Structure 1
Amino acid sequence: MSLSASQVTIGIIAAALVSFAAYRTKSLTADGAVAAFAVGALVFGIGGLPYSVPILTFFITSSLLSAVGRTRKQRVYSRPVRYDPRNAWQVVANGGIPAFIVCAAALLPPGATPSSRDWFLLYLSALASANADTWATEIGTLAPGRPVHITTFRPVLPGTSGAVSLLGTLAGLAGAAAVTVSGWLAWPEGSELLVWRMDVAEGLAVLWAGFLGSLTDSVLGATIQAMYECARCGKVVETGRHCGAPARLLSGRRWVTNDAVNALASLAAVAAAWILLRYFAWPLK
Structure 2
Amino acid sequence: MTTPVRRAVVFAALCTLSLAVPLFGPTVGAVLAGATLLGAFAVTDGPLFDLLAYPGDYEDGRLYGLITFVLAGIALGLVAVSTSMSIAVFVGTVLLVGYGNVAEQFARSRIDHEVAVVTVFCLVATAAGIAGQAGTLAIAGVDLAPLVPSIVFLAASGALLAALLRDVLLLYDDPVVMLSVGFLLWLLAELEPAIGQFEIVGALAVTIALGYASYALDTASIAGMLTGVLLGLVTIVLGGYGWFVVLIAFFALGGLSTKFRYDRKEDLGVAEDNNGARGTGNVLGNAAVALAAVLGYAASSAGLLPASLDPALFLFAFAGSVATAMSDTLSSEIGSVFEKPRLITTLEPVEPGTDGGVTWQGEIAGLAGAAIVAAISYVLFPEVDAVGAGVIVAAGFVGMTVDSLLGATLEGSVLGNQGVNFLATLSGALVCALLVLSFAVLG
Q: Bin the TM-score by the shorter chain.
A: 0.7 to 0.9
TM-fit CA distance, 1:278 = 2.0
TM-fit CA distance, 1:45 = 2.1
**1: distance between equivalents of 2:363 and 2:222?**
33
Task: Note if 1:207 corresponds to 2:385.
Answer: no
**2: distance between equivalents of 1:100 and 1:7?**
22
Report percent identity of matched pairs.
26
Pairing partner for 1:184 from 370, 378, 381: 378
Q: Given that residues 319 and 373 in structure 2 are in contact (C-alpha distance below 8 angstroms), is that contact kept between their aligned partners in structure 1? A: yes
Pairing partner for 2:346 from 110, 130, 152: 152
Partner of 1:238: none
Q: Give the partner amino acid of 1:270.
A: A
Question: Larger relative CO (CA 8 A, sep 6+): 1 or 2?
Answer: 1
TM-fit CA distance, 1:80 = 11
- Residue correspondence of structure 1 range 121-140 to structure 2 within 5 A: 121-140=316-335
Partner of 1:50: 242
**1: distance between equivalents of 2:213 and 2:435?**
37
Partner of 1:282: 440
TM-fit CA distance, 1:118 = 2.0
Q: Give the partner amino acid of 1:175.
A: G
TM-fit CA distance, 1:79 = 8.7
Q: In proportion to residue count, which structure has more helix?
A: 2
**1: distance between equivalents of 2:396 and 2:330?**
12
Pairing partner for 2:405 from 219, 224, 228: 219
Residues 1:259 and 1:78: Cα distance change in structure 2 (over 3 Å): closer
Q: Given that residues 35 and 92 in structure 1 are in contact (C-alpha distance below 8 angstroms), is that contact kept between their aligned partners in structure 2? A: yes
Partner of 1:39: 231
Residues 1:78 and 1:274: Cα distance change in structure 2 (over 3 Å): closer
Q: Which runs of 5+ in 1 are unaligned?
A: 188-195, 227-251
**2: distance between equivalents of 1:41 and 1:80?**
26
- Residue correspondence of structure 1 range 72-151 to structure 2 within 5 A: 72-77=264-269, 83-108=275-300, 109=302, 112-143=307-338, 145-151=339-345
Residues 1:113 and 1:127: Cα distance change in structure 2 (over 3 Å): farther
Provide, for residues 54-105 of structure 1, a one-character-per-residue CA deviation record: whole Å limited to 9, x for no partner.
1111011111112222344344339998633111111111112111211111
Q: Given that residues 128 and 207 in structure 1 are in contact (C-alpha distance below 8 angstroms), is that contact kept between their aligned partners in structure 2? A: yes
**2: distance between equivalents of 1:75 and 1:103?**
42
Q: In proportion to residue count, which structure has more strand?
A: 1
SS in 2 for 1:34: helix
Count of aligned positions: 248
Q: Which runs of 5+ in 2 are unaligned?
A: 1-191
Partner of 2:205: 13
TM-fit CA distance, 1:152 = 1.6
**2: distance between equivalents of 1:104 and 1:197?**
17
Residues 1:74 and 1:104: Cα distance change in structure 2 (over 3 Å): same
Partner of 1:22: 214
TM-fit CA distance, 1:121 = 1.3
Compute the TM-score of the two structures, normalised by the length of structure 1: 0.80
**1: distance between equivalents of 2:223 and 2:273?**
23
Provide, for residues 215-253 of structure 1, a one-character-per-residue CA deviation record: whole Å limited to 9, x for no partner.
111111111111xxxxxxxxxxxxxxxxxxxxxxxxx12
**2: distance between equivalents of 1:81 and 1:48?**
33
Q: Give the partner amino acid of 2:367.
A: L
